[in-house]
Each structure stands twice: as C-alpha cells, then as structure tokens.
C-alpha cells in the first residue's frame, strides 16, 4: 500500500520510497520507516517544513487580505532581508508594534508594517519634490555609503555619506565657509601665490582638499536648510537626527529594532545593516521623487 503524505511541499517521492503496508518497527532506528520518521523530524525542526510553526512568508502574507501590489513589495522586502532585526536582548521597547515575533534570539520585523511605512514616506517625499523642495540623504555607515550617494544623485538631492560634521544643519554658516575653502583649494593652480608655494605646502593643501571634498561633496550646493532629511540608521546618526529635530525638519529614517521610532516623523522599520535591504527601501522612496521632478 502506497500511502501518500506531504510535509510542507515534501511528498513521499522525494525520499525515494513509499510507506510499506505495515507500521511495525516504527520506532526502530534501523528500519525504513524509522529513517522516514527521522527525515521528517529533521525537516520540521530545521524550519524547512513545519505544520505547527508557519514559515515567515506565511506569517507575512496570511495575516491580511490579499493585495497583489502589497504582496509583491512584501515578497521583495523579505527576499532582501528587510525583516531581520537585532538580537532580542538589544531591542528598543518602542519598536514593539513593528515586531512580528522572536526566532532564535532575533527579532523579526513585520514587513506588512514596513510596506505601509514605505508608502507613507514615499508619498510625503514625492509631494515635497513636486513643490520644488530639497531633501538631504544621510548614511555614513559602510553598508549605506554607496546606496545613499546613488539615490541622492539619481533624484538630484543633497547627501552626506562619509562623516556627519557637527553643525551641518545648526551651524550652516560655518559649513558654507568650509565649502568656499574647498572651492578655493580646487582652483588654487590659478591663484597668484601658487607658484611661490613649496612642494610641502602644496602636499598639505592637497590633503586638506581631499578631506573637505570627502565630507562636503554632497552638500556643495546646500545654501539653506533642507526641507526633509532621509536617514539610514537613526541609532547611529544621532547627531544628524538631533539637529533636524531642533530645526523642526521632518525626518524619514530606517529604524532597526534597536532604535527609537518615536523621534522620527516617518519611521520605516527595517534591517539597516544589510546592503540589499537599504537599497530596496531607498529605491522605493526615491521613485516618487524622480517621477515628481520629471
């Protein structure tokens, strides 16, 4: 007698044999059925298949009514690892509404909430861009540096992706002086004093120019405060967030499970340590900006 059985998509054919007529020897490790039992136990305990414990994809998609657009973005977010939070012992209690559950000591973020937050943030930024407002993108951690620059350049906005200089917003006048200094150093070869400078002086000026360019390249044209700030990892960019809050500038930020979402105007609960996670969220929030400008 062939007894067909299925464990989360694994049918009896995948084991290369079917159940025999009798169930004698079920608990015997050396029997054929014993090996089947062990295999099923391995599949269920390893997370590949479990009738009692649903997969993360099931948790994300079965909680609410089906919607093709929402389901698609949720799928993309899950594939990019957006749902992985920090260790549960490092969590911030105010992130509780955005946490789905805890698995293996790691908090799992509810990407249904993330999808809604992305939509709200994208709508807000799109309206700003449509009115000709300017946006500052901030992300100085290594995983975010390239993505932040690419996103800001793609939509023609300002960015800081190496180091946040204290006072970039609250002391903008001094920052503008540094930008003017950078412009002078870049055109120093045309200055009258250039020929009189020694090699040592020129080398020192070249190092100064490289340092200023690294820190200020993305905000050369920022002569006034931006109308919004987009931050990757609000827990790390605490100075940038504090300055924006002091000036009452709206903040859109990726907040991981170790951050405080209450200090952010448009929080996006997401994994802010993975490059793919950062990129997919930035892509979704800059699309309306690009569309509004065009």
pLDDT for residue 104: 86
pLDDT score of 249: 97
* pLDDT reported for residue 84: 83
Q: Are 272 and 254 in contact (CB under 8 A)?
A: yes
Which residues, in sequence order, are CB contacts of 203 under 8 Å at separation 6+? Answer: none
CA distance 291 to 272: 25
- Domain limits, the chain: 6-46, 56-169+225-294, 173-223
Q: Given this model, what pLDDT does residue 100 score?
A: 85
Nearest to 137 by CA among 203, 232, 13, 206: 232
Q: Which residues of the chain have pLDDT under 50?
A: 1-33, 35-52, 61-62, 65
CATH number, span 56-169+225-294: 3.40.50.10490
User: What pLDDT sits at residue 69?
Assistant: 55
DSSP letter at 294? -
**What's the pLDDT at 43?**
41
H or E, element range at 44:
helix 32-46
Instruction: Give the CA-trace dihedral at 19, 24, 27, 30, to 10 degrees.
Output: -70
Residue 225 exposed, middle or buried by CB count within 10 Å (0-12, 13-18, 19+) = middle
Q: Could you give the CA distance from residue 206 to residue 210 in angstroms, rounded to a whole number?
A: 6
pTM: 0.75
């Amino acid at each position: 007698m062939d007894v067909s059985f299925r464990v989360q998509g694994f049918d009896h054919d995948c084991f290369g044999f079917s159940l025999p007529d009798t169930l004698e020897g079920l608990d015997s490790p050396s029997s054929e059925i014993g090996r089947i039992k062990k295999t099923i136990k391995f599949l269920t305990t390893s997370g590949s298949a479990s009738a009692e414990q649903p997969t993360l994809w099931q948790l994300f998609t079965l909680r609410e009514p089906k919607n093709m657009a929402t389901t698609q973005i949720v799928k993309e977010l899950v594939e990019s690892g957006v749902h992985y939070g920090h260790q549960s012992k490092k969590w911030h209690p105010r992130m509780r509404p955005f946490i789905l559950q805890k698995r293996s000591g790691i908090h799992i973020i509810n990407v249904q909430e993330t999808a809604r937050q992305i939509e709200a943030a994208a709508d807000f930024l799109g309206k700003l861009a449509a009115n000709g407002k300017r946006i500052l993108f901030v992300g100085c951690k290594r995983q975010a540096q390239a993505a932040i620059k690419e996103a800001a350049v793609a939509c023609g906005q300002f960015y800081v992706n190496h180091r946040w200089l204290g006072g970039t917003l609250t002391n903008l006048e001094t920052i503008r002086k540094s930008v003017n200094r950078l412009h002078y150093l870049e055109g120093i070869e045309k200055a009258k004093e250039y020929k009189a400078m020694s090699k040592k002086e020129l080398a020192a000026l070249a190092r100064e120019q490289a340092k200023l360019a690294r820190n200020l390249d993305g905000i050369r044209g920022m002569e006034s405060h931006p109308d919004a700030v987009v931050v990757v990892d609000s827990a790390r960019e605490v100075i940038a967030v504090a300055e924006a809050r002091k000036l009452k500038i709206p903040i859109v930020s990726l907040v991981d499970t170790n951050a405080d979402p209450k200090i952010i105007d448009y929080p996006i609960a997401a994994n802010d340590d993975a490059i793919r996670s950062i990129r997919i969220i930035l892509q979704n929030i800059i699309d309306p900006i690009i569309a509004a400008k065009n």
